[in-house]
Amino acid sequence: MITSEPLTTGVVLLVVGLLVALSTAFSRASSRFGLPVVLLFLGVGVLAGTEGLGRISFGDYALAFRAGTAALVLILFDGGLNTPIASIRAVVRPAAALATLGVLVTAALAAAAARLLGLPWPEALLLGAVVSPTDAAAVFSVLRGARVKVRRRVALVLETEAGFNDPMAVVLMLGLTQLLTGQRSSVAAAVGLMAAQLTVGLAVGLGAGAAGRALLPRLRLAASGLYPVFTLALAFTTYGAATVLQGSGFLAVYVAALILGNGALPYQAGVRRVHDSIAWLAQVGMFVLLGLLVLPSRLWAVARPGLGIALLLALVARPVAVALSLAPFRFRAREQAFIAWAGLRGASPIVLATFPVLAHAPGAERIFQIVFFVVAVNALVPGATLRAAVQALGLASRADPPPPATLEIMSRLPVDGEILSFFIEPESAVSGTALRDLPFPEGASILLLVRGHRLVPARGGTVIEPGDHVHVFCRPPDKPFVLLLFGREA
């Protein structure tokens, strides 16, 4: 006879498995119809909730807050791990302006709109603070997925802003929550908290990233699968340490991953692949869980202010914030237009909105429902139109088709070399050349050609043809010459 506890556990795991499987299975269809996966995952959660088909009763805001925070840590860590520091240096100043001044301007305009739509000033200000940051999960999934291919500089500004803008929003949200709950607060205290969030978060992130980068190559773990376990532990430890020290845990995690990902790591390809999978699992689980908190019957009651604030965010607040923040920098009007249009909201505002509920702030549950409505509308406008916006603004990147087969180096120790992949254009200098005739340096060699869906052995008489994907091994001193020979990497 099966006792009640194992049976209950089995039912819970069955439901969780089905929800995750459904969300994942329908993600391709969502992309095909131009709908962001964020909306799909939220929709699955709502349908499975108390008033949906699943009839799952869930109202634990504390659990949702903790789970959402953990998921955002994993998503930000994966984002930082895959971002080249050399690229981010060029956009760090405009991204920082968007993450500070942009958040303040967005919060103020959203609060003014909420007041005009009937909310009292304290609730309106809190709502403005909660919806002010863009969301790393939404931005990374759209810009790094196959749906939207925008020029790299523009994409990096949006990604870096999403990684940096949580401290400002958190400070605003905490200060206004204290105001609503009758606690004393002041502008000086808010400024001090903001400075601490940024300074401590940055310092902890730099320290954790440097420590992980120095320690990982020296570890002698029993199995390759333990290396991503160690990096996961580093992500959570970094967030915890920064938060305990009154800093921004999210900023610390993103910075630590940037430092770590730009160094030589053991089993690098495998570590990145594991974190990519975990980040997607975290994103699915987080949005489904947050969707379970929502009662559709209450959404109708907040439809008017929710729709009004969502449209104002997309059409007024975000464009004004972007224009003011990027005024000192050399961004063309169409680049600013896309950065404004792609200011996606997602899990971050919803997770932030759970905090006032936990603090029993007046009107907090109504604010949560409005925030959910805003995120859902934002996923459609502008979320579902980003691909069309890229084309209309002429910002599509010249992206080569991905190779159907790739090569990776799996090594516990740092390797003095790397595998580069190139797509051969008809005008390429090596097009139509036999491998034996290429002036290769001593430290470089072609390992494999991929022609269509065929793997072509790299022999001396093999001729490189337009449309081939070529995989080249080279040592660091020879990389500039290989790039000169083949052009940019695919």
| pLDDT over 80 (residue 421) | yes
Confidence band, pLDDT 50/70/90 cuts, at residue 147: low
| pLDDT over 60 (residue 1) | no
- Which pLDDT does position 341 carry in this prediction? 95
- Work out the average pLDDT over 339-368: 91
Greatest mean pLDDT range, 157-171, 302-316, 404-418: 302-316
What percentage of the chain reaches a pLDDT higher than 90?
Answer: 47
Please state which CATH number belongs to domain 418-486.
3.30.70.1450
Asked if domains 11-392 and 418-486 share a fold, the reply is no
Least confident segment among 245-259, 336-350, 390-404: 390-404
Residue ranges of domains in the chain = 11-392, 418-486
- Work out the average pLDDT over 125-134: 94
Question: Rounded to an integer, what distance in angstroms lies between the CA atom of residue 96 and that of residue 164?
Answer: 7
Residue 451: helix, strand or coil by DSSP? strand
| pLDDT over 60 (residue 194) | yes
Confidence band, pLDDT 50/70/90 cuts, at residue 36: low
- Which pLDDT does position 29 carry in this prediction? 55
Confidence band, pLDDT 50/70/90 cuts, at residue 2: very low
pLDDT tens digits, 293-312: 988 888 888 999 999 999 99
Greatest mean pLDDT range, 10-19, 38-47, 201-210, 467-476: 201-210
Least confident segment among 44-48, 138-142, 168-172, 236-240: 138-142
Please give the model's pTM, rounded to 2 decimal places: 0.85
Higher pLDDT, 105 or 288: 105
- Looking at 1.10.1040.10, 1.20.1560.10, 1.20.1530.20, 3.30.470.20, the CATH number of the domain 11-392 comes to 1.20.1530.20
pLDDT tens digits, 252-268: 999 999 999 998 888 88
State the chain's mean pLDDT as an integer. 87
- Which pLDDT does position 5 carry in this prediction? 58
Higher pLDDT, 311 or 440: 311
- Which pLDDT does position 208 carry in this prediction? 97
Higher pLDDT, 272 or 413: 272
- Which pLDDT does position 392 carry in this prediction? 93
Confidence band, pLDDT 50/70/90 cuts, at residue 187: low
